[in-house]
Structure 1
Amino acid sequence: MSRAGQACLAAIALLLLPASAQAHRLDEYLQATTFSLARDHIALHLRLTPGVDVAPGLIRQIDRNGDGSLSVSEQHAYVTHVMHTLSLSLNGQSEHLLVQAMTFPSLADMQNGTGVIDLELTLPARLRQGDNHLAYRNRGDGPDTVWLANCLLPQDSAIHVIGQHRAADQSSYELDFSVSAP
């Protein structure tokens, strides 16, 4: 077999091998928020993913007694802390979010950069017909925090996203949308 044929066979063999490397965040604490609009509420899905380099500090922050596990009360305390870093207003009125669900990963997953703290939050609100404006701010946790914010396509055909505006670092997000009669 020619050298070119051997090289081609080697390349094909490498492509057939399962990929063992996975991408993991290293030096950032990603806080990604998605918004979902409905007539009677706005849902926020907040996914907090500490990178390998920042996970030890975050674990120390959550695991207050240092016992190597995250108790339910420590998880609740951290979610309360996170909630204090968020602000939300709808049509110029400050609003309070409610926690619907929270899931914490294992410490090993957090240390490996694959653990996601998953928070489902809601703002119970009756959306008014016509134009609406949502403003969101996430003040995060320290200099290693990075943010993402986006709105999901509304499932209700009467709700239309008009525009999204973000700060350059996406820690602030504004959403303009309209609601038509059903």
Structure 2
Amino acid sequence: MSRAGQALFTAIALLALPAAAQAHRLDEYLQATTFSLARDQIALHLRLTPGVDVASGLIHQIDRNGDGSLSASEQKSYVTHIMQTLSLSLNGQSGHLHVQAMAFPSLAEMQMGTGVIDLALTMRAHFRQGNNHLAYHNQGDGPDTVWLVNCLLPQDPAIHVTQQHRAADQSSYELDFSISMP
């Protein structure tokens, strides 16, 4: 490759770097929630991803003893904290969330902004025939929190999602759905 060609290639590569860096949010704590409805429960799948700039603060919050590792008790304590920032109600009645599974990434992955804390939560539900209303609020975990929320298409053909409403920042979510006769 000629010297001019190398210079052009280098210039293009350098111009592309800022665009690539902007594709991943570095300074936010993304909390993405998906809902799944079944006859006897509501399942929540939370994926919590701290960006590079906020990861050290989150690690410090979880790693209470500062030993550089996240023990099972520290992980459980953090999940309990997250669950206290969530509220979920069905037809105006508050529900209690249960942890089904949790997985934490390595500290190195969190520090690189690629580590995802993965939580599976459920709430027992007694849907009524006809219209039902679910309300969800995620208070977040600090000023750097951003949210995404959505409902998966129900696998049960008797459950029909009719409407979804989200706050502009997606920290609050309402879902209207109906249950048809079997």
TM-score bracket relative to the smaller structure: 0.7 to 0.9
Question: Secondary structure of 2:77's partner?
Answer: helix
For the Cα contact (< 8 Å) 1:24–1:112, is it kept in 2?
no
Aligned residue for 2:132? 132
Identity %: 81
RMSD: 1.6
Equivalent residues in 2 for 1:133-152, closer than 5 Å: 133-152=133-152
TM-score, normalization: structure 2? 0.87
Q: Distance in 2 between matches of 1:107 and 1:99?
A: 22
Aligned residue for 1:81? 81
State the aligned residue count.
165
CA deviations 1:17-48 (Å, max 9, x no partner) are xxxx7854300000000000011101000000
1:127 positional shift: 1.4
Aligned residue for 2:46? 46
For the Cα contact (< 8 Å) 1:24–1:114, is it kept in 2?
no
Give, as a single letter, the amino acid of the residue that structure 2 aligns with 1:127: F
Question: Secondary structure of 2:53's partner?
Answer: coil
Q: Structure 2, unaligned stretches of length 5 or more?
A: 14-19
Closer, same or farther in 2 for the Cα pair 1:106/1:24, shift >3 Å? Answer: farther
For the Cα contact (< 8 Å) 1:41–1:123, is it kept in 2?
yes
1:69 paired with 2:87, answer no
TM-score, normalization: structure 1? 0.87
Moved over 6 A (4+): none
Aligned residue for 1:98? 98
Give, as a single letter, the amino acid of the residue that structure 2 aligns with 1:47: R
Question: Secondary structure of 1:76's partner?
Answer: helix
Question: Secondary structure of 1:54's partner?
Answer: helix
Aligned residue for 1:30? 30
Q: Structure 1, unaligned stretches of length 5 or more?
A: 1-5, 15-20
- Greater percentage in helix: 2
Q: Distance in 1 between matches of 2:26 and 2:168?
A: 21
1:126 positional shift: 2.1
